Amino acid sequence: MFPEFQDQIARLASHNPHFASMVQKHCDLDLRIQNIETGRATGSPLDIEKLKKEKLHIKDKIYALLRNNVH
């Protein structure tokens, strides 16, 4: 997620618990989606769609915070 912001993501996550929890939630959702898609976990196509929408919503929030903290 956002390779151009990796240093900034690490810095913000270390200083902002809310930001860190959003990044972790994004990673957790990504793993859940992968597990369903590969058959390691159960879930329907609708479950995957909902998870992807939630992940995108969090990614948008993360991006907005990153853009507001560009120095």
Q: Which domain holds residue 52?
A: 45-71
11 contacts 69 by C-beta, under 8 angstroms:
no
51, part of any domain: yes
State pLDDT tens for residues 54-71: 999 999 999 999 999 865
61, part of any domain: yes
49, part of any domain: yes
59, part of any domain: yes
Does 69 or 53 have the greater pLDDT score? 53
Q: What is the mean pLDDT of residues 31-58?
A: 98
14 contacts 20 by C-beta, under 8 angstroms:
yes
For the chain, what is the domain count? 1
58, part of any domain: yes
Q: What is the mean pLDDT of residues 45-53?
A: 98
Q: What is the pTM of this model?
A: 0.91
